[in-house]
Amino acid sequence: MATRIVVDPVTRIEGHLRIEAEVKDGKIVDAYSAGTMVRGFEKILIGRDPRDAWAFAERVCGVCTTVHALASVRTVENALGITVPPNAELVRNLMFCAQYMQDHVVHFYHLHALDWVDVVSALKADPAKTSEIARSISSWPKTSPKYFGDVQARLAKFVESGQLGIFANGYWGHKAYKLPPEVNLLGAAHYIEALEWQKEIVKIHTIFGGKNPHPNYLVGGMPCALNIDEANALNAERLAQVGTLLDQAQQFVEQVYIPDLLAVASYYKDWAAIGGGLTNYLAYGDLPTNGYGDPSKFKFPRGAILNRDLGKVHEVDGRDPDQVQEHVAHSWYEYSGGDKQALHPWQGETNLKYTGPPPPYEHLDVDRKYSWLKAPRWKNHPMEVGPLARLLVAYASGSGEVKELVDGALKSLGVAVTALYSTLGRTAARGLETKLIARWAKEFYAQLLSNIKNGDTRMFDGSHWDPSTWPAEAKGVGMTEAPRGALAHWIVIKDRMIANYQLVVPTTWNASPRDSQGQMASYETALVGTPVESLEQPLELLRTIHSFDPCLACAVHLYDESGRHVHRVTFD
């Protein structure tokens, strides 16, 4: 008989996620993913000035900060027919890249690593051997035996104090931890280094957007004026700082993150056959090199893959009412036309309706409704989104750069391309794309300097800033790739105000409950088959869930004061 285990809260993620799983004979046979917090963003956005929307939307998530702001300004620009100047596009790309590098590194070391790295085991390591290993895999300078010895001593004092703080009650000593103590020590040392580094790379946001988290954006461009002859603007000093930060970031990614990722992965190759999940992948694509209006020139291409058929990339259109649709059959909402319906975001209809057990509760009623997340589907297919989807779509689209990188990594690990369809593959894909991003960021930076050199300092297109230039009604879609996957916002503007604003976000795609046809999404599918050796310590479950980098900040669907539906929105 299967046993039901519950993990709530799932930690080392953003937001509030609950997993209920049925375990039988040491493996998960069924799983349910539930978002347990909502805020009501969409209702709050109604009636506001569309030019303010980015600031509201950005607050959907402070971990993947900026990405909702980017999607939002694009959505409004799309609705109003605004094309931003090349420099604004480049600054947005640079902020995008900085976000990815920070977010992916933090995910690897601070959210995911403790699933693979046993910090307590690091106490038994020989620092000299750790030093040897470190030097064999990287040219990173901080690798002396003394350095690792100091880190180990620091950890030892910490553990001996009896106050384990953030490491308290971890699954230390679990049989599924496979790294030798020396590699665990390497991981622990880089946990600390990465914590210090991540606060540097975000300074790119601070320079262009004034702060991080939640830097400032602007509909029509970017607010940071360029003037290389002025102290109070983006001048040579500010730009030079960006350049230095990008150099340091690339160094960290290539000399610390990637070598660590490959070293850890080499001990966990069995995880290349676990947690594969769905066979469909969706990417909206991003990083324009010829303007947002030309997706064919995106660094990350747009497209969908079905049934893992890398020979065919399907076209994706956010405006097509038959493509992106949302279900509520197992979500705490109701549709006026019945919960079997699936609606495109522009026709979105929702009543927030909690029908779960009254808290405190032990279990959710998973046969009925069990999550605040809706269930988005693409042409009725559940889709995985995220780093793996992006890389696969790029790979299948024939990107030489991506193919070379992916094939190289597979070769170094001695695994086939099918290894990508797994918990390990997802985690590896995140690292690999970070390497690309670090490289691309420097291209964008060089292009920005080149534009300035050629006399182009424009950062804003004001042709439609004034609402008197707007049509009476306009609709827009803005797409981007958040670190966690495909993200899009939909807007309807009427009489200069937001009449409807909707977001369908990566973690909604991946973490959604079942749809009206009973189809499971990424988390639930990937969990099935994941081993759980100890019911009390479901470490393996966390590995698979964390490989998606959950970001649950919100799944919001709204109703008006009389209880009728007004609009709906989902968030990660």
Which residues in the 536-565 window bind other proteins by CB under 8 A? Answer: 536-538, 542, 553-554, 556, 558-559, 561
Between 325 and 507, name the residue whose CB sits nearer to other proteins: 507
CB atoms within 10 A of CB 447: 17
Q: Which of 129, 203, 442, 475 binds other proteins (CB under 8 A)?
A: 203
Least Å from the CB of residue 426 to other proteins: 19
Between 302 and 572, name the residue whose CB sits nearer to other proteins: 572
The burial of 139, by beta-carbon neighbours within 10 Å (0-12 exposed, 13-18 middle, 19 or more buried), is given as exposed
Strands 286-288 and 333-334: unpaired
3-state SS, residue 73: helix
Q: Which stretch binds other proteins (CB under 8 A): 51-59, 275-283, 307-315, 424-432?
A: 51-59
Give the DSSP H/E element, type plus range, for residue 288: strand 286-288
Q: State which of positions 367-406 bind other proteins (CB under 8 A).
A: 372
Per rule CB under 8 A, is residue 210 in the interface with other proteins? yes
Q: Which of 25, 141, 196, 562 binds other proteins (CB under 8 A)?
A: 196
Show the tokens assigned to 391: 């890389």
Q: Which stretch binds other proteins (CB under 8 A): 13-21, 337-345, 386-394, 425-433?
A: 13-21
3-state SS, residue 25: coil
Q: Which stretch binds other proteins (CB under 8 A): 40-48, 248-256, 414-422, 482-490?
A: 40-48
What CA–CA distance (Å, rounded) separates 378 from 391? 19
Least Å from the CB of residue 377 to other proteins: 25
Per rule CB under 8 A, is residue 50 in the interface with other proteins? yes
Q: Which of 86, 127, 187, 220 binds other proteins (CB under 8 A)?
A: 220
Between 277 and 538, name the residue whose CB sits nearer to other proteins: 538
Per rule CB under 8 A, is residue 534 in the interface with other proteins? no
Q: Which of 86, 221, 285, 483 binds other proteins (CB under 8 A)?
A: 221
Evaluate whether 130 touches 187 at the Cβ level (below 8 Å).
no
Least Å from the CB of residue 470 to other proteins: 8
Per rule CB under 8 A, is residue 77 in the interface with other proteins? no
Q: State which of positions 100-139 bind other proteins (CB under 8 A).
A: 106, 110, 114, 119
Q: State which of positions 163-192 bind other proteins (CB under 8 A).
A: 163-171, 192
Per rule CB under 8 A, is residue 413 in the interface with other proteins? no
Per rule CB under 8 A, is residue 59 in the interface with other proteins? yes
What CA–CA distance (Å, rounded) separates 186 from 127? 9
Q: How far lies 429's CA from each of 280, 286, 337, 440, 548, in Å?
A: 16, 16, 41, 16, 11
Between 270 and 354, name the residue whose CB sits nearer to other proteins: 354
What CA–CA distance (Å, rounded) separates 366 from 71? 33
Closest listed residue to residue 124, CA positions, set 172, 82, 56: 172
Evaluate whether 546 touches 30 at the Cβ level (below 8 Å).
no
- In angstroms, how far is CA 422 from the centroid of its own chain? 17
Q: Which of 1, 25, 161, 563 binds other proteins (CB under 8 A)?
A: 161
Q: State which of positions 240-279 bind other proteins (CB under 8 A).
A: 241
Task: Tell me the per-residue interface mask from 337 to 356 with other proteins, x by CB under 8 A, - otherwise.
Answer: ---------------x-x-x
Q: State which of positions 428-467 bind other proteins (CB under 8 A).
A: 457-460, 462, 465-467
Closest listed residue to residue 524, CA positions, set 330, 245, 319: 330
Least Å from the CB of residue 68 to other proteins: 9
What CA–CA distance (Å, rounded) separates 380 from 96? 30
Q: Which stretch binds other proteins (CB under 8 A): 128-136, 151-159, 423-431, 504-512?
A: 151-159
Least Å from the CB of residue 190 to other proteins: 11
Applying CB under 8 A, the site for other proteins has a residue count of 121
3-state SS, residue 532: coil
Least Å from the CB of residue 40 to other proteins: 3
The burial of 61, by beta-carbon neighbours within 10 Å (0-12 exposed, 13-18 middle, 19 or more buried), is given as buried
DSSP β-bridge partners for residue 314: 304
Task: Tell me the per-residue interface mask from 465 to 504 with other proteins, x by CB under 8 A, - otherwise.
Answer: xxxx-x----------------------x-xxx-------
Who's near 541: CB < 8 A, 6+ residues apart?
5, 7, 19, 21, 28, 527, 530, 532
Least Å from the CB of residue 564 to other proteins: 13
What CA–CA distance (Å, rounded) separates 456 from 91? 14
Closest listed residue to residue 419, CA positions, set 314, 529, 265: 265
What CA–CA distance (Å, rounded) separates 123 from 31? 36
Between 204 and 402, name the residue whose CB sits nearer to other proteins: 204
Between 64 and 402, name the residue whose CB sits nearer to other proteins: 64
Q: Which stretch binds other proteins (CB under 8 A): 311-319, 377-385, 520-528, 532-540?
A: 532-540
Per rule CB under 8 A, is residue 147 in the interface with other proteins? no
- Identity of the residue numbered 428: A
3-state SS, residue 568: strand
Least Å from the CB of residue 183 to other proteins: 17
Per rule CB under 8 A, is residue 47 in the interface with other proteins? yes
Evaluate whether 222 touches 185 at the Cβ level (below 8 Å).
no
C-alpha neighbours within 13 Å on the C-beta side of residue 446: 8
What CA–CA distance (Å, rounded) separates 336 from 349? 8
At CA 24, angle to CA 22 and CA 25, rounded to 5?
155
Least Å from the CB of residue 198 to other proteins: 7
Per rule CB under 8 A, is residue 208 in the interface with other proteins? yes
